[in-house]
Structures are given as structure tokens and as C-alpha cells.
Structure 1
């Protein structure tokens, strides 16, 4: 299963707030994690944009390039399911907000705008999750193996497809189903293979997830 470095460690790393030993561990982990390296690049880029914004009048609108950097950092990772990966979209947006606060109280107005953007992205992510879970339940509860159930969230533009693969009983006697889950957004596609088992209350709970980046 794909693993990621804690976003908070990446923020501290970019800020130079880690101890030498912690810095060495993060750099060693970065060597094997292209996604985290890209995150570090974006955090540094965002910090530089925010420093430049600090020099602009406080009553001026938040520079478009600042909001664009925040949105790009969050939305690109939001294209991948938050249910399966670490919560990169919200965590990274929050991390950027932390960087803003660190630059001085003069950017409180910018911080407020960032909080609004974080809330919006969080709401979109929750909507994705609700649509995804509804499709998953329908696929596992009502469809035979090989029959795909498609879903789409018009607010985010994300689409997906759940396809049961096989059905079996686990050692505890509960019914389980292996399935594949495909999600796509703006040409970025992710495919997962997972196993879910039916709980006594009737809900399907995913027990194992393997991620295959496409």
C-alpha cells in the first residue's frame, strides 16, 4: 500500500523547524516519495508567494496567484480519493494557512480567505465521499461480480466506477467481496483493489486497500 510522509512534518521541514535527526529522516523518506517531493516544492512556492503578498497593501484583494497556488496544491491531490490516501488536500491547505500566520499578523485577511478556500475544498471532498460510499454499497449489496456501478459528483467533476470481482466468506463466517474502484479527475486516474466485508448491521466495511497509481 502506498505510504506518505505526514504533511505536518513536511511543513516543519520547509520551515526549517525540525531537529537535525528529524530532517535527515524526512530527507531519506523524500528520496523514495515523489509525491512528497512535489508537495515540498509547492509548499516552498506558496511560501514565496505569500511573502510577496505581505508587501502588498492590506486592504487589497488577496493576489490571484496566491489563491491559485493554494487551490492547485489542494485540488490536484483532491483528484485522488481522500478515503484511501492521507488527507492531503485539507492538510496541505491548512499547512499553507500555517505558513501565512507565520509570516506575520499583517496577513490575517489572507488567512481568512484561505480558511474559506479550505472549507470549500473540504465540503467538496465530503460530497465526493458520500457519492462514492453510496455507489460502493449499491455495487456490493445488489450487483453480481463483473457488474460496474458508476458515480459522479458534478460539484467536483470527479467520476468513478465500482466493480465487484469475487465473493467469499472470511474465517469469521462473514460475507466479503473483493472489488476494484476507479476514480478520475481531469485526466488523472487512480485504480484501487480492495476487500470489504459485510457488518452485522448491514454495512459494507472495507478491510484492505491496495493502490495502483495510473
Structure 2
């Protein structure tokens, strides 16, 4: 599929961006499946049925690929949230919207990579750069929670710890979630947020009926 998509990518104005993203997608799957250190540029090229120099035309090295996976996931999140927002949501509604979109991202190729590949695989300078990208996800949620404390829709005593707990739960999803299960992703998000925000479980189906592998 990756090789077919590569061949069909537009050869003109969108070619470079499209093919660069295909490299990131192929690399994300490879990193998640085989490990960062165990995946070579040659193996990424083989998935796309292109040469190694072709990969280097779009990216400098594996470190840059890992950075760009995180940055592209963040850009995707921002774009989807901007498209979905109506402008009059409460902070709690924004939090639900954020994690409904985030849950989709964390369960796609880029999210799998971010969940399964530790930034400890990188040397300290590169690790710090990647962590700055990841920190942006957290900061967006912290801002929503602070707004929720102001409008009364999110009542937490420590926004920082609350944010860590939320991401801990959602980032574990790739370990068990399957879209072949019984409960759709938005319902799982609602269950999670009900547990964290209200100390209870959202009405409806029980958590043991969620989509699990």
C-alpha cells in the first residue's frame, strides 16, 4: 500500500509534501513494529520501493524523521480542532473535542510511533528537541484545563498532574484498542473523561465492552 501511494502521489505542486508525508508514515509503522534502532533507512526505502538516496532527498536522517512525525501529528491535531470548533464551546467541551481527535491520532501510524518509540532512543540534544514537540500537546491541554477552572466546567486542584494522568491513559490506548471492537472511539473518550473529570463512569455501556484487542 505504501509503495502504491508513493507512485500515485501528485508529480507537481503537492508532490514534495505528499511524498515526505508518505516517508513519515512508512517510517512510523516501521519504528513501531521493529524499533527505532532496528529500523534502517534502507528498510524504510524498501517499504516504499524507492532508493535510499530518494529518502535522503526528503529527510536528513532518522532523527529528523522522528521529529517530523511528532510535529506532523501536532499539526494534524491543531488543524482538525480548528476545523471542528464552533467558537462557543465550554472548556469541558473543548477538552472532549481535543481528546476525541487526539484518540484518533494516537491510534494511527504517527500515534503508534509516538506511543511505542521512547525518546530515550535519541542522544540528549535530539531528545530535548523531540520532547519540546511533545510538550506542545500537554501545554494545549493545560490551557484548556485552566480555562475550565475559570468557567467552572473543569474542577481540578492540580492541572499539571491532571494533564499527566489524562495523557497516561490515552497514550496507553495503542496497546489495547482495536477498531473491530464493540464501542466506538468517541464513547471510549467520554468514558475516560467522565472518570477523570467526575470520578465516575459515563452512562451507557460498561468499560469492559470497549474495543480491545
Q: TM-score by structure 2 length?
A: 0.29
The structure in which a higher percent of residues are helix is 2
Q: TM-score by structure 1 length?
A: 0.29
The structure in which a higher percent of residues are strand is 1
Bigger RCO (CA 8 Å, 6+ sep): 2
Larger radius of gyration: 1
